């Protein structure tokens, strides 16, 4: 028995495993949170270098997806290929005021370019006008152009709606065949709240999933959203949440 070689091999293996992440793992580190995170970078000034950094981080931490604007889909899909991290693209973002035809084309192109998931914004004004058939057809246009290659999450912008309108938006989303209903764009007057997530989950039941986005800045908030019924979080703070750390500022960043 070559005890020296056995020791050397054991040390090499342990040291190799310890270098998987460049970040020190504290007692608060919990990788189980990663599967809930859509690592999100949607600012208009986002560069390719920033997209690459988010993709690298998502691969390292094993986040559910990287959520980007349509112009970055091909690049992000190539960066994430084979990693198990999904490419997520926003549609009709952030106002939801494009026509249904354009949203459908946008979804079709996103899927063609490699999107595994699309997050569309509803026509908020039409909902408030009680033009429910338009809202339904708007969502259905994206669903028909994304399925079955990509799942569809529907952003209803809860901060702009009454509770009754939130319920109606969720019902229309469910009837149009989408996979998720989602709280916010990050560009509206407010973000996700526990009360809204509970209401949304109560409305869609087990037939759909709920994504909370905007203001998901730390693990305490994440835990509350999970308890309320959300299974995805749209946030740029996923790394801090996995590490159990607080952000330097408490901005409600997407």
Q: Picking from 115-119, 227-231, 248-252, which range would have the lowest pLDDT averaged per residue?
A: 248-252
Who contacts 240 (Cβ-Cβ below 8 Å, separation ≥6)?
A: 217, 218, 246, 247
Does residue 254 fall inside a structural domain? no
Whole-angstrom Cα distance, residue 71 to residue 68? 8
pLDDT at position 227? 98
CA 137 to chain centre: 23
Structural domain boundaries, residue 123 = 34-243
Does residue 220 fall inside a structural domain? yes
153-172 burial by CB neighbour count: b if 16+ within 10 A, else e?
bbbbbbbbbeeebbbbbbeb
pLDDT in tens, 194-236: 999 999 999 999 999 999 999 999 999 999 999 999 999 999 9
How do strand 86-91 and strand 65-68 relate by DSSP bridges? parallel
Does residue 187 fall inside a structural domain? yes
pTM of the model: 0.87
Please say if the pLDDT value at position 23 is more than 80.
no
Does residue 42 fall inside a structural domain? yes
Pair 47, 71: CB distance under 8 Å: no
Whole-angstrom Cα distance, residue 13 to residue 7? 10
Does residue 248 fall inside a structural domain? no
pLDDT at position 95? 97
Q: Show which residues are catalytic.
A: 119, 182, 211
Tokens 């980007």 — which residue?
68
Query: Which burial class, exposed, middle or buried, applies to 251 when counting CB atoms under 10 A from its CB (0-12, 13-18, 19+)?
Result: exposed
Does residue 131 fall inside a structural domain? yes
Does residue 147 fall inside a structural domain? yes
Helical pair 163-175 and 194-204, crossing angle rounded to 10 deg = 40
pLDDT in tens, 161-187: 999 999 999 999 999 999 999 999 999
CA 5 to chain centre: 47
| Number of domains within the chain | 1
Backbone angles phi, psi at 156, to 5 degrees: -100, -5
Please say if the pLDDT value at position 106 is more than 80.
yes
pLDDT at position 248? 78
Please say if the pLDDT value at position 160 is more than 60.
yes
Please say if the pLDDT value at position 74 is more than 50.
yes
Does residue 218 fall inside a structural domain? yes
């Amino acid at each position: 028995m070559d005890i020296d070689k056995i020791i050397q091999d054991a040390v090499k293996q342990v040291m190799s495993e310890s270098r998987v992440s460049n970040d020190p793992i504290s007692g608060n580190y919990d990788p189980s949170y990663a599967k809930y995170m859509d690592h999100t970078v949607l600012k208009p000034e986002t560069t390719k270098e920033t997209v690459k950094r988010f993709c690298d981080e998502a691969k390292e931490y094993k986040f559910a997806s990287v959520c980007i604007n349509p112009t970055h889909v091909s690049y992000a899909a190539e960066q994430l290929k084979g990693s198990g991290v999904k490419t997520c693209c926003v549609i009709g973002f952030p106002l939801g005021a494009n026509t249904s035809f354009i949203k459908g084309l946008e979804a079709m192109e996103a899927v063609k370019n490699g999107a595994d998931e699309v997050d569309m914004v509803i026509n908020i004004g039409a909902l408030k006008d009680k033009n429910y058939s338009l809202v339904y057809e708007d969502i259905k246009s994206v669903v028909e152009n994304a399925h079955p290659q990509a799942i569809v999450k529907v952003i209803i912008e809860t901060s702009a709606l009454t509770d009754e309108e939130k319920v109606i938006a969720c019902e229309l989303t469910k009837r149009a065949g989408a996979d998720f209903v989602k709280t916010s764009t990050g560009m509206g007057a407010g973000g996700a709240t526990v009360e809204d997530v509970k209401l949304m989950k109560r409305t869609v039941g087990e037939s759909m999933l709920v994504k909370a986005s905007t203001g998901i800045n730390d693990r305490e908030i994440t835990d509350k959203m999970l308890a309320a019924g959300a299974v995805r979080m749209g946030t740029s703070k996923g790394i801090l949440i996995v590490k159990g750390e607080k952000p330097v500022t408490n901005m409600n960043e997407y």
